[in-house]
A and B are shown apart, each in its own frame.
Chain A
Amino acid sequence: METFFDSLRALVVDTKGDAAGIGIAWDSSVGRLAPELALCGGIVLILLARCLRWTQRVESFWIAILSAGTAFWLCAPWQALKGGGYVGGEAFTGMLELDGFALVIRGLLLLYLVFQLGFTRLSGIPDREDGPDVYTLYLGASVGMCLMASANHLLAIFLAVEMASVPSYLLVGSLKGRPRSSEAAVKYAVFGAVSSGAMLYGLSLLGGLAGTAHLPSIARALADQTLAGLGFEEAATLAIAGLMILGGLGFKVSLVPFHFWCPDAFEGAPAEVGAFLSVASKAAAVALVFRMLIGLGTVTDFREEPSRADAVAASTVAAEEIRASDPSAAGPSVALDDPDTLHDARLAALRPFRVSAGIVLAALAAITCTFGNLAAFAQTNLKRLMAYSTIAHAGYLLMPACVAAEMADRSYVAAVQAVASVTIYLGSYVLTNLGAFAVIAFVRNELKSESLDDWAGIVRRRPALTGMLAILFFSLIGLPPFVGFLGKFAIFASLAEGYRASGELGDPKPYFLWLLVIGCLNTALSLFYYVRVVKRTVFDEPSGRTEQTPLRRWFNPETAFVAVPVAATVLLFVNATLLIEFAEAAAQSLLRSVAA
């Protein structure tokens, strides 16, 4: 009985930082989850307002934006830049990992949420009646996405993914009464259900095999099992589990064999929702991919923990076999009871899993990128075009995963650069894509069409918006002097650095270089369709619809809104250090287990 109360007390302390009273410490689990709680508070308030018929007086938008702003302020991503690095740690007994990586990604997501809400309000898609629904769904999905960025436990991963997905299905169908929208929502939901089912199966296989669902513990268990010798059945089960999890994550990231929902969902959904799916959802999913890759692929140093004698014993038995099979894994007859050696041996034992995951991701990234860019070429609907563009960008985003996987135990610098480059790319992509979708939505409101042909010559009616769309598209291509170039440059640089570092260690990985070349050629390939939009809107003679649109010049709320991301694309390129510092802080935090 005593033990029960002890563990209960420990649980309470872990949750709110103080066993007595009702006070909640800022550094407790609940305290650190304040941003998500602020969003939840916003949701509750909006729903309450609706029940109590406040909606007539207070528009739910203001509640939503207030809670999003509060959440961003509470999240305070600038903590990542403070001297000495942000010290995070696990929360809720290991369900979440609120480290610097999670901090930066959550900050990005919440900042994006603020913009997304403003954008939705400006473009006026939800009327006053639908407003509460739509804003609630945005906030709810964002909670899920924030959890995706910090999930550290198989259950938390699944919950977070579902929490982000289910509101997204509804959002896609938010244009009530339009068959295309409903069709898109159904497609998206069916696809989502199947892939989450597959992922759940994969997660349970993994958890069952490792005997735990906590990511670092799984990694350690896998490493120890490998050190003790992994049978064929275990290996095959692991491979199946990995592929199934990949299916679930690939659906969220829209990797190529799992991307079919993407164009249809984007075409059917309003552009506002498209922006949300292509930016926030993707950012969270990419963060989760890296979290799982690094979380499962490396082991944390458990030196402070009381040593688990059985594991050590098992490892020592296995040491002979390792020495025989892999000469690099074990030094000359050093027993594995030394914590340093054990840590290294575990890292080395996980290497095959990590590397094969990296290679699969690299291949998928190359295919996704090329496919997205080729398929986008033939599109005539702008939202569909943006869907394929989103797919292509998912490819770029996953390119450094193989460097992170391959170099995690070999070159800390290269691994950090790989993760940092993804974060930089996310930062640039979030901004740019938001702006592009915003222009599409605003012009759609005028033209009542998203067909590229109807947009011909729109520059004569909307010079500012069209000019800014051109800038945003050039940023998406990755041309300087815009921030998109910085993201591409960082990703390509991480591939080149990976190649150099691997060559320096005597084991060059030419596929990094191939990936780099594929990425570069894809950049040239993507030029076609982005520039086709620019050409159609700027060079061509106005279409009938364009002719009927009244001329509107610079100063209106829409232009002012889009000007923010456009200015940011230029300013973040000029002062690129800001983005790079955040990204490096995030990457160092994610990779701290291999920092030695």
Chain B
Amino acid sequence: MDPSAWILLLTLWLPALAAVVLACAPTSAERFARVWIFLSTLAVFVLVLLGYLLPGSPARFDVSTPTLQHVLDVPWLPSFDIRFAIGLDGISFPLVVLSALIAVLAAAASRSITKGIKAYGILFLLLQTGILGVFLAQDFFLFYVFWEAMLLPMYFLIGIWGGPRKEYAAIKFFLYTLVGGVLMLVALLVLYFQSDVRALADSAVTSTSAAETLAELAVDPESHPNLGVVVVEDPTGARALLIRRAWEPERELTVVRGVARPGAGPVGIFSEARGVVEVLLPAEPNAADLVQAIEENPLLAQALDAALLLPPANGAEVPAREIAGSATAWLRPAPDDVMPVASFPPRQTLRPIHTFSLPLLADLALETECFSPTVQRWCFLALFLGFLIKLPGVPFHTWLPDAHVEAPTPISMILAGVLLKMGGYGLIRVAFPLCPFGAHEYAWLVAGLGIVSMFYGALAAMAQKDFKRLVAYSSVSHMGYVLLGLGAWSASVENGFDASYWNMGAQGAMFQMLAHGISSAGMFFVVGVLYDRVKHRDLDEFGGVYGRMPALAALAFGIFFAGLGLPGLCGFWGEVFVVFSAWKYHAALAVAGAFTTVLTAAYVLTCLQKVFLGAEYRGPYSEKLVPLTLREFLIAGTLFTLGIAMGVAPHPLGFRWFDATFDRQYARLAAWTERLLPVYEAREARELEAQRAAANARAESERAAEGLSMGETPVDPAGPEAPGEEKPSDVPPSGVAPNLEGVQEDLRRKADPPAEEP
């Protein structure tokens, strides 16, 4: 196995291994347990830093690669084609680093845990494996497994080590997330069974982006014996896609490859950079094959058109037969240039090939019409709801204040710093790319709930008397920005569609997640430090902490201002990017988003004033209010420093890492919007029309039946439908479905040609 795969595996399983070791230790060794938790999380963090950032490391993360890196992909359950696939890209890598860092800080903050430290440590480390697994998984099933598996340790961590209402908070957290998970399971199953990789095989012949994404899957012939999509690599490093056309599963395939010559050109994929063409045809291709290929796929006709340098003849279409003839003429008589590279036996079955692979599912959603509009709608809603609960967004946020308030400080840090990000990550990784049509349809819902969360969270935070509850509601408010940034896409062509704003909003959302991970963890830590000393969190009882704990006050001001989004601090960039992009979607959203900052300022400043300013502390346990210990100072100091650093240098510490990946993802979504969205809309309109026609026909036949019973002339039940077929300008008959394919092709032909675009 590749050394990079080992690093990836170690990152994922190191915490779990450490948990196993800890489980074997005697219960009495409390000191060992504490040190072990800290060292294990530190080891993971160091491994992440060294393994992915050190120059020369085999798993070094390359920021310029937009696609997945260091993919480890081994079969797990072949009967469902479930694979243990983990990998990194710009979306997951920053979150992996964030969760490794927060885990170290939370482990260091676990000093306040006094009872059952061994069990705590085991659960804490298992939780970390669960979180890392969610961010690393590239298989939907695996993603789901980690997503759910992570619930169990969290449930116990809140339920055993939590505050007075811990049981209520724990079960609420568990139940909410499980409901979200169950909805995700429904969507996962439906998407899985609707997926058919063979559809991709057909589209990949012409679409270079699909070829690129297939290459990133590292598909190998052994693991996908009947996939129909195989990547062959020759010694020069050039890759060929071998695709078995869906309509000819029984024929053997060979790749024929030639070097492009001036004046004579290829079929299929043409790479200018390599000067190599890849011809994808059944064995012993003949003109009929080509004609069929061309007729099935207008894009191929265009590729041929360009490659063979046939004159476009003022937009007149060249008959497919003619092109095919010239192409075979080129293929046949040059045996020296043309050589078979590989051949594969015929595929066994005609069954659809389902997949759980997230990149493949995204390819299917973005390159083909595999998922119908209805499926995408419902699946998007289910996925969105699942992730919304985790994020959390209003109205499913109510678990969060309870869970945060009751959880012990380190767990609050992890909850706010990392767990909430899983919701945003799920939206970016799963919901948007897998259901682009649903995402487009419900963009208003996403953005609207974002605004509502921002407002509601801020207003609720203002009303809190409990310091920790205030911080919890501020999380709701801040995560609203993530929703707004993701939802704010003006993704319809008529609406002056501009994908760059959309990209900006999504990048802002991503940055906001990272920044919030730093600032909210810091805020919860500050609350925890005070609570450890004075055993209460009542804002009205505080005041004057500045005089007793100046270092804490300074750090807290920095961290809270970073959360507030003051320019020069980490919270600023995410908010500003999101608000900018929201302007393009709807000006009112941007105005409301910007106004939230005022509300945020109001509660943050009030809170800081109530806690830290004032003459002197008069609340209980005044004598315990001692200055920060070195450990506490280091934890808060790290978060404080990062908050400033990310604000001052947002690019090297933030955008740089996910720029390329987001650019690509949003370029693909934009391409989808331009290419397939009209197709989907037309398809939906047609389905509606067909339904209406069917209803009409039914009504008419009922009327006819009534007429029959009233003694009028008998009407053949097929009667009302027959005239419809004769008059195409009329309402189309219900039997339009079988012709769908043809109409789609027409539509695509209309929507596609790049030459016609201005």
Give residues in A with beta carbon < 8 Å to B.
413, 474, 479-481, 485, 489, 492-493, 495-497, 499-500, 513, 516-517, 520-521, 523-524, 527-528, 531, 535, 538-540, 576-577, 580-581, 584
Contact = CB atoms under 8 A, between A and B. Distances in A.
A413 B351 contact: yes
B189 A493 contact: yes
A186 B78 CA distance: 49
Interface string B167-194: 1001100110011001101100110111
A520 B159 contact: no
Contacts of B182: 520-521, 523-524
Interface in B185-226: 185-186, 189-190, 192-194
A555 to B, nearest CB: 13
A169 to B, nearest CB: 39
Contacts of B79: 577, 580-581, 584
A480 B179 contact: no
Nearest to A536: B167
A492 B167 contact: no
A576 B186 CA distance: 21
A479 B150 CA distance: 10
B159 A539 contact: yes
B187 to A, nearest CB: 10
Contacts of B185: 489, 492, 520
A489 B145 CA distance: 11
Contacts of A577: 77-79
A513 B155 CA distance: 30
Interface in B135-157: 144-145, 148-149, 151-152, 155-156
Given A479-B148, A516-B186, A577-B77, A496 B178 contact: no
Contact of A520 (B145, B175, B186): B186
B595 interface: no
A495 B186 CA distance: 10
Contact of A479 (B149, B183, B351): B149
Interface string B291-304: 00000000000000
Given A496-B193, A539-B167, A527 B175 contact: yes
Contacts of A480: 144-145, 148-149
A520 B183 contact: yes
Given A479-B148, A538-B156, A580-B77, A499 B174 contact: no
Interface of B: 76-80, 144-145, 148-149, 151-152, 155-156, 159-160, 166-167, 170-171, 174-175, 178-179, 182-183, 185-186, 189-190, 192-194, 351
Given A580-B77, A580-B79, A517 B144 contact: no
A539 B190 contact: no
A129 to B, nearest CB: 41
A517 B186 contact: yes
A576 B174 CA distance: 26
A479 B152 contact: yes
B145 A492 contact: no
Given A516-B189, A535-B167, 16 more contacts: A479-B152, A489-B185, A492-B186, A493-B189, A500-B194, A520-B186, A523-B182, A524-B178, A527-B178, A535-B159, A535-B170, A535-B171, A539-B160, A540-B167, A577-B78, A581-B79
Contacts of B179: 524
Contacts of B186: 492, 516-517, 520
A513 B189 CA distance: 10
A577 B77 CA distance: 6
A497 B183 CA distance: 17
Contacts of A474: 152
Contacts of B159: 535, 538-539
Nearest to B146: A480
Contact of A531 (B78, B145, B174, B194): B174
5 contacts: A520-B183, A520-B186, A531-B174, A576-B77, A584-B79
Nearest to A460: B116
A500 B151 CA distance: 31
| A-B pairs, 7 with minimum CB distance | A496-B189, A480-B145, A500-B193, A520-B182, A496-B193, A524-B179, A539-B159
Contacts of B170: 535, 539
A104 B42 CA distance: 48
Contacts of A523: 178, 182
Contacts of A524: 175, 178-179, 182
Contacts of B155: 531
A481 B142 CA distance: 10
B453 to A, nearest CB: 23
Contacts of B156: 538
Contacts of B149: 479-481
B152 A531 contact: no
Contacts of A521: 182
A128 B160 CA distance: 43
Most chain B CB neighbours (cut-off 10 Å) among A413, A495, A531, A540:
A531
A496 B167 contact: no
Contacts of B166: 539
Contacts of B189: 492-493, 495-496, 516
A479 B185 CA distance: 11
A495 B193 CA distance: 10
A581 B155 CA distance: 34
A171 B179 CA distance: 40
Contact of A497 (B77, B144, B151, B193): B193
A520 to B, nearest CB: 4
Contacts of B192: 493, 496
A531 B176 CA distance: 14
B643 to A, nearest CB: 36
A528 B168 CA distance: 12
Contacts of B160: 538-539
Most chain A CB neighbours (cut-off 10 Å) among B175, B185, B194:
B185
Contacts of B178: 479, 523-524, 527
A577 B193 CA distance: 19
Nearest to A477: B178
A495 B190 CA distance: 10
Nearest to B152: A474
Contact of A499 (B145, B175, B183, B193): B193
Contacts of A580: 77, 79
Contacts of A520: 182-183, 185-186
Contacts of A513: 190
A495 B185 CA distance: 13
Contacts of A493: 80, 189, 192-193
Nearest to B193: A500
B731 to A, nearest CB: 22
B148 A485 contact: yes
A576 B75 CA distance: 12
Nearest to A486: B77
B163 to A, nearest CB: 12
B193 A481 contact: no
A538 B78 CA distance: 38
A125 B145 CA distance: 39
A523 B77 CA distance: 23
B85 to A, nearest CB: 16
Nearest to B179: A524
Contacts of A527: 174-175, 178
B124 to A, nearest CB: 16
A496 B351 contact: no
Contacts of B175: 524, 527-528
A500 B174 CA distance: 31
Nearest to A497: B193
Contacts of B193: 493, 496-497, 499-500
A523 B76 CA distance: 25
Contacts of B148: 479-480, 485
Nearest to A520: B182
A485 B174 CA distance: 16
A308 B113 CA distance: 81
B223 to A, nearest CB: 14
A377 to B, nearest CB: 13
B389 to A, nearest CB: 12
